[in-house]
């Protein structure tokens, strides 16, 4: 016999519990009335049997007043934890009026919480976003993403108290979608955490959730086993642990026993446990902190279902009608109300009251489809297929039966069962034969050890090869650096010798020749009128000047005698005399000279870069900046010229002399960065470690 799945009865427990902390008692009461009666800012139609529209409108008006008061309070405080709490409270309240405003305040709360390092506010703000997606947009996939982010933030900041609430919320979302394996994963994760801290209250809660997930997948024996574990945990609770919410969970467990025994056909046991659950809920009903009043109706409903299974249809219909009457006070959730209408419709069908049966079935179907509740939709399609079959409308019956079969397969299929068994193995829920388990473990250990040995040997071999390759590369780099150093040193020594020889020998000869010609002019005054003679003296002056320039370019005397900074100042002053180019030179922190080799290398680098500016850039202004920092020397050369394509110049490796500059920088273990583009000028930045 087909067994109708019970309405989702555990969804609201921790969901409402956490949000009750966030809002004051008045706001919590108003929002609960609105959500549980199916009325929202969108103006949903009030369903048959509801009589709370006036109360809802009054509640909305009071809630708007509360929002105004919070906003005024928010204007008068700074950016602190109180502001975060108020923003989160506004995000919660705005769900009933404006989805965008709700997201705005939750985003502000999240940003401020991050800025002031307030993890509780951050977790609540993320949770509010998920709640808005789920309640307003009915978008549980997006909501689950936010819930997961909230869980990660709570884990990171070790907010164990909030984690239990978050586990319950995301668990309920998975159950709503009919994804029981993931719901069980979350419940098991929470159970393991509760065991580690010996929190029997939460152990009881999570065990109840796991048992319910088993039952919804038709795994009755596993469900009974978990409910018995919960009963044992409940029996071990101390007096201080028996708070009202724990007694609610105990009543839930009795209710679960009734569910399972009814599904197994043991109606007497089912009614016995449901009677215990009903008495427990009625006992709690007088407690002002007891908010789970819908479970009174739910238990009445299940007693009707069990009587239906036992064949006592009038008694069953009586219980279900009592349930619907109880819902008129706004004490039922929409997914529960859908189940009640569906059950009433099927009982009326069995009693032959088809007109009223059809109305009740369509009311239930409408709610189930609006809230996207997988189990309720499945049951609605099943009951409607039976309804139309009784009316001999077989086309409609076949269509609904087809929808029922597809949805049933999507909820309980082989993949779901496989995933459930995998979870059993992970968390030790399913018990296996100890000898087989030991043999399998031993085999797995041997295989894993062998694979680990192979992996270790492979890693050692790869590491040795890599070490050899690195050693070879280091040696090669060292040799290249030594070779470059030797070549550079030899070049600079040869330049210095050639410059000295030119200055001492050829310079002396030219000076002597000019002196002789001047003496000759003094002896023969008529030569003062000889243009050729005067031109010869001018050429000797020009040759002497050019000789000095050549000698300076080969090895500047200023660099050798006075150091790098005076040599660069002299260089830029000479270049600035050229028509159309002005070179500015700036140097900082160079009171102490560098070693000769470094000064020569830096001078050659800057000289090559300035030559590039003169020859290729077409610039009117250039700036050279030389700064000594702690640990390194910075060289910056900038011009306003025509620029060039850096990638193209790098690929061609020719033309503007960057190759020699890069080689010298690499030898000095520095870095070279070029920022240029056609028409944008050029900036070259070089950093050289001062230890070199």
Are 514 and 541 a contacting pair, CB within 8 Å?
yes
How far apart are the C-alpha atoms of 147 and 15, rounded to whole Å?
12
**Cα 482 vs. chain centroid, distance in angstroms?**
50
Are 118 and 125 a contacting pair, CB within 8 Å?
no
Per the listing, tokens 């240029």 go with: 676
Between 62-71, 129-138, 486-495, the lowest mean confidence (pLDDT) is in: 486-495
Q: What is the pLDDT of residue 386?
A: 93
CA distances from 613 to 26, 580, 581, 675 (A): 77, 12, 9, 14
Exposed / middle / buried, residue 310 (Cβ in 10 Å: 0-12, 13-18, 19+): middle
Q: What percent of the chain has pLDDT over 70?
A: 75
User: Which residues on adjacent β-strands are paired with residue 635?
Assistant: 626, 686
Judge whether residue 385 has pLDDT over 70. Answer: yes
The tokens of 304 are what? 């009707």
Q: What is the pLDDT of residue 34?
A: 40
The tokens of 666 are what? 């690499």
Residues listed for the chain: 692
Q: What confidence category does residue 49 fall into, taking pLDDT thresholds of 50, 70 and 90? A: very low
Judge whether residue 33 has pLDDT over 50. Answer: no
Judge whether residue 233 has pLDDT over 80. Answer: yes
User: Which residues on adjacent β-strands are paired with residue 586?
Assistant: 625
The predicted model scores a pTM of 0.45
Mean pLDDT, all residues of the chain: 77
Q: What is the pLDDT of residue 341?
A: 93
pLDDT tens for residues 80-89?
889 989 888 8
How far apart are the C-alpha atoms of 383 and 397, rounded to whole Å?
9
Where is 627: in which H helix or E strand? strand 621-629
Cβ-defined contacts of 324-330 (< 8 Å, 24+) = 324/49, 325/49, 326/296, 326/297, 326/300, 327/49, 327/50, 327/297, 328/49, 328/50, 328/51, 328/52, 329/52, 330/33, 330/36, 330/37, 330/50, 330/52, 330/55
Q: What confidence category does residue 52 fall into, taking pLDDT thresholds of 50, 70 and 90? A: very low
Q: What confidence category does residue 329 fall into, taking pLDDT thresholds of 50, 70 and 90? A: confident
The dihedral formed by the CA atoms of 26, 32, 35 and 37, expressed in degrees to the nearest 10: -110
How far apart are the C-alpha atoms of 460 and 466, rounded to whole Å?
10
pLDDT tens for residues 620-645?
888 998 898 888 889 999 988 888 88
């Amino acid at each position: 016999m087909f067994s109708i799945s019970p309405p989702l009865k555990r969804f609201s427990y921790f969901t409402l519990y956490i949000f009750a902390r966030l809002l004051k008692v008045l706001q919590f009461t108003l929002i609960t009335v609105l959500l549980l009666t199916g009325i929202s800012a969108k103006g949903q139609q009030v369903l048959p049997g509801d009589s709370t529209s006036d109360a809802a409108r009054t509640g909305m008006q009071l809630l708007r007043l509360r929002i105004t008061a919070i906003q005024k309070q928010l204007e008068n405080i700074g950016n602190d934890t109180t502001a975060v709490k108020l923003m989160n409270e506004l995000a919660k309240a705005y769900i009933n009026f404006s989805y965008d405003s709700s997201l705005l305040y939750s985003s502000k709360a999240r940003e401020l919480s991050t800025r002031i390092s307030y993890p509780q506010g951050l977790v609540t703000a993320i949770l509010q976003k998920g709640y808005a997606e789920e309640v307003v947009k009915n978008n549980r996939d997006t909501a689950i993403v936010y819930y997961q982010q909230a869980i990660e933030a709570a884990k990171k900041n070790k907010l164990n108290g909030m984690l239990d609430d978050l586990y319950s919320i995301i668990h309920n979302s998975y159950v709503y979608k009919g994804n029981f394996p993931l719901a069980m994963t979350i419940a098991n994760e929470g159970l393991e955490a509760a065991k580690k801290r010996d929190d029997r209250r939460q152990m009881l809660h999570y065990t109840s959730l796991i048992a319910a997930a088993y039952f919804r997948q038709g795994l009755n024996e596993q469900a009974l086993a978990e409910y018995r574990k919960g009963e044992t945990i409940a029996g071990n609770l101390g007096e201080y642990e028996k708070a009202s919410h724990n007694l609610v969970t105990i009543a839930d467990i009795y209710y679960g026993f009734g569910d399972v025994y009814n599904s197994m056909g043991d109606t007497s046991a089912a009614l016995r446990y449901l009677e215990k659950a009903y008495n427990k809920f009625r006992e709690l009903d007088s407690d002002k902190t007891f908010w789970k009043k819908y479970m009174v109706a739910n238990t009445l409903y299940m007693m009707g279902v069990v009587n239906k299974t036992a064949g006592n249809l009038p008694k069953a219909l009586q219980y279900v009608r009592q349930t619907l009457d109880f819902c008129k006070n706004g004490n039922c959730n929409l997914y529960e109300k859908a189940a009640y209408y569906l059950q009433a419709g099927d009982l009326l069908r069995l009693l032959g009251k088809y007109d009223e049966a059809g109305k009740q079935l369509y009311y239930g179907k409408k709610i189930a489809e609006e809230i996207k509740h997988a189990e309720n939709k499945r049951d609605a399609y099943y009951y409607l297929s039976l309804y139309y079959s009784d009316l001999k409308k077989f086309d409609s019956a076949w269509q609904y039966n087809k929808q029922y079969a597809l949805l049933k397969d999507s909820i309980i299929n082989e993949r779901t069962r496989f995933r459930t068994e995998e979870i059993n193995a992970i968390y030790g829920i399913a018990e296996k034969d100890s000898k087989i388990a030991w043999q399998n473990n031993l085999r797995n250990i041997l295989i894993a050890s062998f694979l680990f040995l192979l992996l270790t040997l492979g890693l050692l071999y790869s590491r040795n090869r890599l070490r050899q390759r690195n050693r070879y590369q280091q040696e090669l780099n060292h040799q290249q650096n030594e070779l470059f150093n030797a070549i550079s040193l030899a070049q600079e020594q040869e330049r210095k010798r050639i410059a000295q020889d030119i200055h001492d020998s050829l310079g002396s000869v030219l000076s002597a020749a000019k002196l002789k010609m001047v003496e000759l002019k003094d002896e023969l005054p008529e030569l003062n009128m000889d243009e050729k003679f005067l031109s010869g003296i001018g050429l000797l002056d020009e040759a002497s000047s050019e000789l000095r320039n050549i000698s300076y370019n080969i090895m500047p005397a200023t660099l050798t005698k006075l150091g790098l900074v005076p040599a660069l100042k002299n260089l830029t002053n000479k270049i600035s005399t050229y028509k159309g180019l002005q070179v500015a030179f700036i140097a900082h922190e160079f009171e102490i000279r560098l070693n000769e080799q470094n000064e020569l290398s830096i001078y050659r680098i800057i000289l090559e870069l300035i030559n590039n500016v003169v020859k290729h850039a077409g610039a009117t202004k250039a700036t050279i900046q030389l700064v000594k920092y702690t640990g390194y020397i910075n060289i910056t050369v900038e011009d306003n010229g025509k620029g060039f394509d850096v990638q193209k110049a790098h690929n061609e490796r020719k033309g503007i002399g960057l190759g020699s500059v890069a080689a010298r920088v690499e030898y000095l273990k520095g870095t070279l960065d070029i920022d240029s583009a056609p028409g944008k000028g050029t900036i070259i930045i070089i950093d050289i470690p001062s230890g070199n």
